Amino acid sequence: MVRKNTGFPYCLACLPFLLPVCAGAADPAAGQTLPPIVVTATRSEQSSFDVPGSIDAVGVDASDTLGINPSEYLQGVPGLLTRDRQNYAQDEQISIRGFGARSTFGVRGVRLYTDGIPATMPDGQGQVSNFGLGSADRIEVLRGPFSALYGNSSGGVIQIFTADGKDPPELRFGLDGGSYGTYRIDANARGRAGILGYNVDLSQFYTDGYRGHSRAERENGNAKFNLDLGDGRRLTLIANTVALPNADDPLGQTRAQFETDPRLPTPVALQFDTRKSVHQQQGGAIYEQSLSDSQGIRVLGYYGQRDVQQFQSIPVATQLKASSPGGVIDLDGGYGGTDARWTYRGALADKPFDLAAGVSYDRQDQHRLGYNNFVGSVVGVQGALRRDEQDDEYNFDEYVQATWSFAERWLLSAGARHSDVKFSADDNYIVLGNPDDSGRVDYSATTPVAGLMYRASERWHLYASYGNGFETPTFNELGYRPDGSAGINFGLVPARSRNGEIGSKLLIGDGGEFNVALFQANTRHELAVDNSSGGRTTYQNVDRAQRRGAEMKFDYPIAQHWRAQLAYTFLDARFLSSFLTCPAASACTAPNTRVAAGARIPGVPRSDFYAALRYGEKLGWNAAVEATAASNVATNDLNTQYAPGYGVINLSGGYAFKLHDAKISTFLRLNNVFDKSYIGSVIVNDSNGRYYEPAPGRTIFGGVQIALK
Least confident of 27-36, 153-162, 569-578: 27-36
Output phi, psi for 148, to 5 deg.
-60, -20
Please give the pLDDT value at position 29.
37
Does residue 60 sit in helix, strand or coil? Answer: coil
Q: How far apart are CA 305 and CA 334, in angstroms?
A: 4
Q: Which residue has the higher pLDDT, 116 or 590?
A: 116
CA angle at 478 for the pair 471 and 371, rounded to the nearest 5°: 140
Residue pair 269/213 in contact (Cβ under 8 Å)? The answer is yes
C-beta atoms surrounding 563 within 10 Å: 17
Contacts 24+ apart (CB under 8 A), 192-198: 192/165, 192/166, 192/167, 193/169, 195/227, 195/228, 195/229, 195/230, 196/165, 196/225, 196/226, 196/227, 197/164, 197/165, 197/166, 197/225, 197/226, 197/227, 197/228, 198/165, 198/223, 198/224, 198/225, 198/226
Q: Give the helix/strand (H/E) hosting 132.
A: none
Please give the pLDDT value at position 375.
97
Residue pair 366/407 in contact (Cβ under 8 Å)? The answer is no
Please give the pLDDT value at position 33.
65
pLDDT tens figures, 159-215 = 999 999 999 999 999 999 999 999 999 999 999 999 999 999 999 999 999 999 999
pLDDT tens figures, 436-453 = 889 899 999 999 999 999
- Looking only at the bridges linking them, the beta strands covering 111-114 and 156-162 are parallel
Q: Which amino acid is it at 105?
A: F
Please give the pLDDT value at position 486.
62
Q: What pLDDT band is residue 2 in, cutting at 50, 70 and 90?
A: very low
Q: What pLDDT band is residue 343 in, cutting at 50, 70 and 90?
A: very high
Please give the pLDDT value at position 534.
58
Output phi, psi for 606, to 5 deg.
-70, -30
Q: How far apart are CA 441 and CA 424, in angstroms?
A: 7
Residue pair 646/676 in contact (Cβ under 8 Å)? The answer is yes
State CA 379 to chain mean position distance. 34
Share of the chain above pLDDT 90, in %: 83
Residue range 381-385: mean pLDDT, rounded = 96
Least confident of 226-235, 255-264, 471-480, 624-633: 471-480
- Looking only at the bridges linking them, the beta strands covering 579-581 and 378-379 are unpaired
Q: How far apart are CA 456 and CA 48, in angstroms?
A: 16
> Does residue 588 surpass a pLDDT of 70?
yes
User: What single DSSP character describes residue 133?
Assistant: G
Query: Rounded to two decimals, what is the model's pTM?
Result: 0.93
Least confident of 57-66, 467-476, 520-529: 57-66
Please give the pLDDT value at position 32.
53
Q: How far apart are CA 290 and CA 252, in angstroms?
A: 53
Domain boundaries, the chain: 9-272+296-708
Q: What pLDDT band is residue 620 in, cutting at 50, 70 and 90?
A: very high
Q: Over the chain, what is the mean pLDDT?
A: 92
Burial 229-263 (b: 16+ CB within 10 A, else e): eeeeebebbbebbbbbeebbbbbbbbbebbeeebb
* 649 Cβ contact partners less than 8 Å away, ≥ 6 residues apart: 625, 626, 627, 672, 673, 674
Cross-strand partners of 328:
311, 371
Output phi, psi for 270, to 5 deg.
-75, -40
User: What single DSSP character describes residue 232?
Assistant: T
Please give the pLDDT value at position 641.
96
Task: Sort 384 into a burial class: Cβ within 10 Å, 0-12 / 13-18 / 19+.
Answer: exposed
Least confident of 1-10, 417-426, 536-545: 1-10
Superfamily of the domain at 9-272+296-708: TonB-dependent receptor, beta-barrel domain (2.40.170.20)
> Does residue 70 surpass a pLDDT of 60?
yes
* 263 Cβ contact partners less than 8 Å away, ≥ 6 residues apart: 210, 211, 212, 694
> Does residue 15 surpass a pLDDT of 80?
no
Please give the pLDDT value at position 569.
98
pLDDT tens figures, 142-166 = 999 999 999 998 889 999 999 999 9
Please give the pLDDT value at position 28.
37
> Does residue 13 surpass a pLDDT of 80?
no
Burial 319-347 (b: 16+ CB within 10 A, else e): beeebbbbbbbbbebebbbbbebbbbbee
Please give the pLDDT value at position 322.
86
Share of the chain above pLDDT 70, in %: 94
Residue pair 536/484 in contact (Cβ under 8 Å)? The answer is yes
Residue pair 175/153 in contact (Cβ under 8 Å)? The answer is no
C-beta atoms surrounding 37 within 10 Å: 14
